[in-house]
């Protein structure tokens, strides 16, 4: 299956700082999703991207579908303590195939007040 690399593995930042993380794939993807998982809970969908070049925001979060279709980025602006959690990217190569989704290993974000 497709390889999906997510970086960085972890980040320790100060409250108020901006955060950036990314995912790259070994092949072209048609869908990119970003999830957040808080301790003791399941991943929650943050942003879904379906078109190369697409830039979508959800509050302080902004995600982009890379032009090459092999990468995606998630930015968090002005981080706050409740941003703490693990952020996962997910992507798929086959449009309309729910089951083709692959997940990154996650970026663990720690925000110091």
Interacting residues toward another protein by CB under 8 A: 1, 31, 33, 35, 40-45, 48, 50, 88, 90, 92, 96-101, 103-106
If the CB atoms of residues 84 and 103 are measured against another protein, the closer one turns out to be 103
d(CA 17, CA 31): 28
Angle at 38 (CA atoms; ends 89, 62), nearest 5 degrees: 45
Question: How far does Cα 78 stand from its chain's mean position?
Answer: 17
If the CB atoms of residues 40 and 113 are measured against another protein, the closer one turns out to be 40
Q: How far is the CB of 89 from another protein (least distance, A)?
A: 10
Taking Cα atoms as reference points, which of 34, 32, 16 lies closest to residue 106?
34
CB 7 within 8 A of CB 22: yes
If the CB atoms of residues 60 and 108 are measured against another protein, the closer one turns out to be 108
**What kind and span of H or E run contains 45?**
strand 44-49
Q: How far is the CB of 84 from another protein (least distance, A)?
A: 18
If the CB atoms of residues 3 and 14 are measured against another protein, the closer one turns out to be 3
Q: How far is the CB of 37 from another protein (least distance, A)?
A: 8
């Amino acid at each position: 299956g497709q390889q999906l690399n997510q970086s960085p593995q972890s980040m320790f930042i100060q409250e108020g700082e901006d955060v950036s993380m990314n995912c790259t794939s070994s092949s072209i993807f048609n869908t990119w999703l970003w999830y957040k998982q808080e301790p003791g809970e399941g991943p929650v969908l943050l942003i879904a991207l379906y078109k190369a070049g697409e830039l979508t925001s959800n509050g302080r979060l902004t995600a982009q579908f890379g032009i090459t279709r092999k990468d995606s980025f998630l930015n968090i602006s002005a981080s706050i303590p409740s941003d703490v959690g693990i952020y996962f990217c997910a992507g798929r190569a086959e449009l309309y195939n729910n089951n083709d989704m692959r997940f990154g290993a996650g970026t663990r974000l720690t925000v110091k007040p």
